[in-house]
Amino acid sequence: MSKDYSYLKGNQHAKGNKPNKTAFKQGQEPWNKNVKGIHLSPGSEFKKGCISLKHKPVGTCTIRTDKTGKKRRWIKISEPNIWIEYAKYVWEKHHGAIPKGLLIHHKDTDTLNDNRHNLKCVTRSWHINHHRDLLTAGKLKAAETGIPIKEARNGQMALFA
């Protein structure tokens, strides 16, 4: 003879399983029903207007690693959480807005050297053609040394060295 677990009807996770001792029975009300704005531990709650410990002010620079393993500098330009690459920020500060479809190229291939004289605004096709020789040379070198390309991207061998 099987027991009736129909009162677990709304709980899709527990459907078909035995209820535990703390499961609500049909018609049972939770202790906090109709209790709005209850503060059980006001000393440890966030206060209105409290700023997170992780908050970074506008103008903060950080260094992040992109998916190819290259390190790039980012700057926070506005609230709540608007960040752009520092190279783009420097370019826009000295030369104005970057036209749609163009990107910023580092002439010496050092992505952390964001000096305005090291930056160049180029098309995507020019950029890939410029780096094609370096990419194929890196792939050939990886094949000669026996290091798979995936490992080479993770920093064991620099493709743009």
As to burial, measured by CB atoms within 10 angstroms (0-12 exposed, 13-18 middle, 19+ buried), residue 91 is buried
Tokens representing 109? 């291939």
β-strand 71-78 against 102-106: which pairing, if any?
Answer: unpaired
CATH 3.40.50.720 fits domain 61-156: no
Note the pLDDT tens digit of each residue in 26-38.
788 888 888 888 8
**CA–CA dist 27, 111 (Å, integer):** 64
β-strand 71-78 against 82-85: which pairing, if any?
Answer: antiparallel
E strands in the chain:
61-65, 71-78, 82-85, 102-106, 119-123
Tokens representing 127? 């950029």
Note the pLDDT tens digit of each residue in 45-91.
888 888 888 899 999 999 999 887 889 999 999 988 999 999 999 99
Judge whether residue 156 has pLDDT over 50. Answer: no
Judge whether residue 130 has pLDDT over 80. Answer: yes
